[in-house]
Chains A and B, each alone.
Chain A
Amino acid sequence: MKGLNKVVNTYDEALAGLANDQLLMVGGFGLCGIPEGLIDKVAESGVTGLTCISNNAGVDGFGLGKLLEKRQIKTMIGSYVGENKLFEELFLSGQMEVILTPQGTLAEKIRATGAGIPGFYTATGYGTQVAEGKETKEFNGRMYVLEEAYPKADFALVKAWKADTQGNLIFKSTARNFNSMIATAGKITVVEVEEIVEAGELDPNEIQVPGIYVNRVIKGKFEKRIEQRTVKQN
């Protein structure tokens, strides 16, 4: 009996079923809280035609930047390109479809996906390109845009700090970001963690994502690269 034990021991098992043209959601903000080993495995697998929902697309040569380099992503949905030169170049030259989405709308769309809510109204983006072609509606004298949830992701790739064997999750500091919503929005949710403990060892008061959303848990290795190392000048 495997029961509620979600632990897998290899990245092959973690991403079993990964195929071309799938929809992936990937947690992280910049390089903070990204499932590094899972992303590497997607890169190594060579699957193409992916639609990727993630706030950012890594940096050149790290995180989702690796999938950009290998042209594995057909459509990128995120909020910020920033200093990622390759991302900007692929976007401006039309080599990759990019759907830029306001960060809060992105977060709420992912949350709605996991929560079974098909859409919601937000004032964000009203009167801008983001609202083009979308239904709008007035509430209490202000205009709002209808934003729809995404389909569930074929794979939701999440990074957490600790998991127990049943997939209950705890995050650390700002590495939580999009991870907790993305965990709820996958047909298969795979979580890469720093530490796995036995079920019952985590205090139920402190669990941030309950294991019901999680299908597979793997203990990963993290480089935790820092984008902008800033220190106090003494």
Chain B
Amino acid sequence: MSDWTLFEVFVRSKHGLNHKHVGSVHAADAAMALENARELYTRRSEGVSLWVVPSAQITASSPDEKEPLFDPSDDKVYRHATFYDLPQEVGHM
């Protein structure tokens, strides 16, 4: 099975949400990957749409870059709605 391609599987659940990564499957080609993903990840109506992507095609950020990539947003509280205190009389906004 090692000469088969590894595919990552993404499922869109019923409720119109984004496709979400659920795991991986091995398959000889993309069509077979879809069939395998269907059997493996949607046996109980978990989804209405499937994506399979060869794992090798995914570029991932490296754990070493976690700080330079994500820390800068930690001190930008003004990007969140809750940062802005408004008087009661404004009501829901």
Indicate whether A and B interact: no
B: residues with CB less than 8 A from A are none
Q: Chain A residues in contact with chain B, CB under 8 A?
A: none
